[in-house]
């Protein structure tokens, strides 16, 4: 078995009396996209900072690309692309000047590569960073993380501030990285983003990894809000008892409900009527996490 790209064993981080991590066991395989999910305060950003040696663990073991981040931090950073949810740098430089400086620190990046990424993200490299909106600053962050084609990308809420069109371009960049054999470790609150990119998802709660699943399995268990507008009269009872359907209401020809798992039964029932429109709204991460995993049915799991 290949050595993992990221591995932690019983990783603990305490902040005084507060607990950031409480024995995190994590394993990320080379070449996979791993979504790291959990509610605010679960330990996602703490984990990422420990992987990058921005903070030090209270106890436990960390290995990144086969090395200890504390002992080999400088060498590892050349092999890693990192992006935080709010990319903050000295605003006096232009985007081109900053990226050129960072490229030199990493041993050089072809200028054409930087220009290509900027064009894909509709980023004006000639403007000073302090004059950019938050979304455009985040574009600079995306470019600096991807431009040197690192072995490992560590991305903490990477699309914060990006509009939906550019979020899709980011998804394309992640898919290209995976196709090139790069490993991506990504925390996110955007479920559609994770579902489009990740191979596996680890969910953290109270500083522990509670489950690791394939994305397909997570998708099937997601609870969605569904709204169907019918063109002819329907009866609520026809839908309220369907498998996975709950909290169903019917008002003026519009059915609203929650759907847990597969949509097959609901779609087949709706198809017996004239459907004007159908909206399926994916849950946000915290609703999914607390609605399913807070039931106590999930055992603690190692990656």
Distances in whole angstroms, Cα of residue 25 to Cα of each of 4, 63, 70, 172, 267: 13, 11, 18, 29, 40
The pLDDT assigned to 293 comes to 54
Examine the pLDDT at 139 and tell me if it is beyond 90.
Answer: yes
CB 34 within 8 A of CB 199: yes
Sheet holding 275-281, edge to edge: 245-251, 254-260, 223-230, 275-281
Mean pLDDT confidence for 39-68: 92
Question: pTM score, two decimals?
Answer: 0.78
Average pLDDT, the chain: 88
Mean pLDDT confidence for 256-266: 90
Distances in whole angstroms, Cα of residue 134 to Cα of each of 139, 148, 156, 162: 9, 23, 16, 8
Q: Is 146 helix (H, G, I), strand (E, B) or coil?
A: helix
CATH 3.40.50.300 fits 6-219, yes or no: yes
Q: Quote the longest CA-to-CA distance of the chain.
A: 69
In CATH, what is the architecture of 223-281?
Answer: 2-Layer Sandwich (3.30)
The pLDDT assigned to 290 comes to 56
pLDDT confidence bin for 78, thresholds 50/70/90: confident
The pLDDT assigned to 299 comes to 44
Rounded distance, CA 83 to CA 61, Å?
A: 23
pLDDT tens digit string along 18-39?
Answer: 878 999 999 999 999 999 988 7
Least confident window among 20-34, 131-145, 187-201: 187-201
pLDDT confidence bin for 269, thresholds 50/70/90: very high
* Helix and strand numbers, DSSP H then E, in the chain: 11, 13
Residue ranges covered by each domain of the chain:
6-219, 223-281
Beta bridge partners of 223: 260
Mean pLDDT confidence for 268-279: 95
Domains 6-219 and 223-281 belong to one CATH topology: no
């Amino acid at each position: 078995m290949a050595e993992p790209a990221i591995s932690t064993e019983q990783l603990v981080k305490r902040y005084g009396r507060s607990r950031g991590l409480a024995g995190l066991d994590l394993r990320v395989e080379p070449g996979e996209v791993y979504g790291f999910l959990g509610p605010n305060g679960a330990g996602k950003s703490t984990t990422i900072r420990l992987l990058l040696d921005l903070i030090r663990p209270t106890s436990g073991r960390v290995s990144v690309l086969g090395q200890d981040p504390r002992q080999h931090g400088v060498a590892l950073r050349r092999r890693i692309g990192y992006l935080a949810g709010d990319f903050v740098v000295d605003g006096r430089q232009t985007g081109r000047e900053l990226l050129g400086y960072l490229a030199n620190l990493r041993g050089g990046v072809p200028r054409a590569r930087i220009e290509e990424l900027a064009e894909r993200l509709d980023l004006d490299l000639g403007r000073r960073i302090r004059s950019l909106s938050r979304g455009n600053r985040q574009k600079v962050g995306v470019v600096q993380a991807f431009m040197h084609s690192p072995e490992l990308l560590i991305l903490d809420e990477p699309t914060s501030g990006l509009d939906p069109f550019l979020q899709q371009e980011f998804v394309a960049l992640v898919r290209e990285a995976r196709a090139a054999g790069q490993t991506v470790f990504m925390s996110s609150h955007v479920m559609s983003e994770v579902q489009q990119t990740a191979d596996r998802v680890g969910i953290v709660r109270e500083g522990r990894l509670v489950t690791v699943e394939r994305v397909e399995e997570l998708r099937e268990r997601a609870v969605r809000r569904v709204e169907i507008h019918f063109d002819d009269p329907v009866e609520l009872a026809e839908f309220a008892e369907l498998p996975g359907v709950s909290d169903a209401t019917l008002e003026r020809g519009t059915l609203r409900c929650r759907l847990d798992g597969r949509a097959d039964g609901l779609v087949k029932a709706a198809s017996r009527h004239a459907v004007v429109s159908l909206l399926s709204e994916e849950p946000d991460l915290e609703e999914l996490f607390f609605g399913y995993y807070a039931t106590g049915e999930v055992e603690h799991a190692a990656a």
